[in-house]
A and B are shown apart, each in its own frame.
Chain A
């Protein structure tokens, strides 16, 4: 069974169709890159999948739950890390972990165990009592990712998790993604860094509310005769901007 499936998923705001009949499947344990230009409908599509927006039409399932009738179950069973830093700057590292673990309904014993484990894995044990607001951005992002996984969800949604992060931290972040995927977690990720698109098992590219291309990075490059995902993206997202001969 797919971890995520969308069948003709559509969202209209008044007369404007933000997401227009998108259909795709993400397999369990897959790293799926969800690309598109600004305004192509990525965020709206993602909001429907994580249970924050009711679709206008179509069907969708995430972790076996229906995006229409079971939005609460979806929210409880997925991990989500938003574009901008989603932790509380005026709480300590440990308090943030405990807060999210509590929100997700973990038992006291589990909370103690997970906090200790997570602090150890991140090498943050000696910083457990520091305010998160005082951590460097790269640390915060990695902590936010770990917190999004604190309740051990089967599926995690990451919305531009590496924006503005230095190149070493960006790559360390992707190694954390790989590690999670290797353990069976399904990863659904958006990014503006086209080199990161190459790290995904498969990618989709949204243009004007529709999925214009979907496949492995290698397949898409071959199909479009392009050298990189960046080239594929530019051709699809703004065909008029590129002369036909380019």
Chain B
């Protein structure tokens, strides 16, 4: 078995903006691989190169063993691609869109039916409805069906869940898990860090550079400093007080908690928790509790971004 995607030293520049810089990664056969990063990280540029829509300035990339520059026609026929912007025909019906995409690849909806069925079945009752009259979640399902109808050997999905509500996002990831279970290789990008947990491996990407590539659970384990979850009332005041603690590395709101990272590598988190509680009590936060916590993808991402966040919000932090 060969690797499905091999990217080596890939670079791409638009004017004076370096969209991708020395990007290398390997996606194994049958893997659900996530590219996780904010807008402007370079995710779309990487997808466009992998789908042969853009040429790289530097480096090489192969998809299914085919070179993205030399073998573009063969790659195009074997890849299922869902671009980041809705790219179906709004004035065609669900059925017409599917038939169109099937015909572009010289096949029929019937021949691709078993492939699209798990996704398409929910749409089928609405097959005569115009695409622009579908809800956000249904449009997304139609776009995925259209990307699958020619039975591709690999799926490339660029931010399929952006702007989609939390419920539809869960459903979509359930469908990706089902496709992965059928053996399909999937590369998917997302700005939502929590979605990284649904992937076999993820590449964290920011400012055109790969920060780390690992299984999601490993990324958290690699967190280099003691991390504590702090709870209390008056959360904003608590946050500002925590930043005054002499050993604070970074302090960020995290859902209903505050994540506090200590500068002292290897420090005992339980003891740090006790120190923090004493400090907070002296500052009037009697009720505050600080307990050791496991780092998640978002903690790691911020650490890798170089976010010593122990400062007031100002511009000039992002590259």
Please list the residues of chain A having a beta carbon within 8 angstroms of any beta carbon in chain B: 36-40, 122-124, 127, 136-139, 142-143, 160, 163-169, 171-176, 178, 182, 192-195, 198-199, 217-218, 228-230, 233-234, 237-238, 241
Contacts and interface: CB of A to CB of B under 8 A. Distances in A.
Nearest to A230: B166
A237 B167 contact: yes
Nearest to A39: B135
Interface stretch (B267-275, B284-292, B310-318): B310-318
Q: Is the interface of A mostly helix, strand, loop or mixed?
A: helix
Contacts of B298: 167
B208 to A, nearest CB: 12
A137 B39 contact: yes
Nearest to B38: A166
Given A136-B40, A166-B206, A192 B166 contact: yes
Interface residues of B, number: 43
B163 interface: yes
Given A142-B315, A167-B298, A168-B309, A237 B165 contact: yes
Nearest to B162: A164
Interface in B230-254: 235-236, 239, 252-254
Contacts of B312: 175
A16 B141 CA distance: 24
Nearest to A170: B38
Interface of B: 37-41, 135-137, 162-168, 170-171, 191-193, 206, 235-236, 239, 252-256, 298, 301-302, 305, 307, 309, 312-319
Contact of A198 (B135, B163, B255): B255
Contact of A228 (B39, B171, B255, B319): B255
Contacts of B314: 122-123, 172
27 contacts: A37-B165, A37-B166, A37-B167, A38-B135, A38-B136, A38-B163, A123-B314, A123-B315, A124-B315, A136-B319, A166-B206, A166-B305, A167-B301, A168-B309, A169-B317, A174-B253, A175-B236, A192-B163, A192-B165, A195-B255, A199-B235, A228-B256, A229-B255, A233-B167, A234-B170, A237-B167, A241-B171
